[in-house]
């Protein structure tokens, strides 16, 4: 791994998280001269060579950042031995950012719980069919989105009354947030303390105690306003 400063690493994180466009990243690369020292001349020069309108630019840059073998990547990128951004670091940053936002922004609870639900359900690894990349420790957060805020489930569960149930949920988001916030704080603290260690997307290590608490068959049951 290259010795990137915290400030510069954050820019790469934001790019990989779709918070920064490729053109913005290119401008950052041209303007930040200390990156040549941090990344090494070879990697820095190759990064600068990717033109923003190249049809495979994003794919190539992702390969550079994660150092993955990709069937469509140009050959010399496969020869890089050093990683710029370890996937474990990016995934850890992405999760902690999301958890912090959920804790601090109760008005956006629906938006963030929807993301937790997707991360809990996961996605299949295209290269290893049958392997689902998912974060099981998010089930208390993710499933409490699905049961109370997902339109398709509400239509199925409440039939013609689904809009009324949905409106009740939206009217009491902060009430629900106060109940779910401690769960998010527990997960965030566990990641920060190393009790949950992210290895790569959907792959992680978790202590047995936390596994039993966060990945149990009994999902946390929200209390509803009287």
Query: Residues 35-49: pLDDT tens digits?
Result: 888 888 877 887 777
pLDDT of residue 77: 34
pLDDT of residue 80: 36
pLDDT of residue 130: 62
- CB burial of residue 2 (10 Å; 0-12, 13-18, 19+): middle
pLDDT of residue 204: 97
Task: Report d(CA 177, CA 39) in Å as an integer.
Answer: 42
- Sign of the torsion formed by the C-alpha atoms of 149, 152, 153 and 158: positive
Question: What is the per-residue DSSP string for 126-167?
Answer: SSSTT-EE--GGGHHHHHHHHHHH-HHHHHHHHGGGHHHHHH
pLDDT of residue 61: 66
pLDDT of residue 217: 86
| Residue segments in the chain with a per-residue pLDDT below the cut of 50 | 1, 51-53, 55, 69-82
Spatial contact of 74 and 59, defined as CB atoms under 8 Å apart: no
């Amino acid at each position: 791994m290259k010795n990137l400063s915290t400030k510069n690493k954050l820019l790469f994180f934001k790019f990989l998280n779709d918070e920064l466009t490729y053109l913005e990243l290119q401008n950052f690369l041209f303007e930040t001269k200390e990156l040549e020292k941090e990344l090494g001349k070879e990697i820095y020069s190759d990064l600068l060579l990717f033109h923003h309108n190249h049809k495979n630019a994003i794919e190539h840059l992702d390969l550079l950042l994660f150092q993955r073998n990709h069937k469509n990547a140009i050959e010399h990128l496969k020869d890089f031995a050093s990683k710029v951004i370890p996937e474990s670091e990016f995934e850890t940053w992405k999760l902690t950012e999301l958890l912090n936002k959920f804790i601090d922004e109760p008005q956006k609870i629906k938006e963030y719980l929807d993301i937790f639900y997707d991360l809990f359900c996961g996605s299949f690894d295209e290269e290893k069919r049958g392997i689902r990349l998912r974060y099981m420790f998010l089930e208390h957060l993710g499933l409490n989105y699905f049961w109370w805020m997902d339109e398709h489930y509400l239509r199925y569960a409440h039939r013609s009354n689904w809009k009324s149930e949905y409106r009740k949920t939206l009217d009491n988001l902060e009430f629900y947030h106060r109940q779910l916030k401690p769960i998010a704080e527990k997960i965030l603290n566990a990641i920060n303390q190393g009790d949950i260690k992210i290895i790569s997307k959907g792959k992680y290590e978790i202590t047995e105690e936390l596994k039993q608490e966060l990945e149990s068959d009994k999902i946390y049951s929200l209390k509803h306003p009287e």
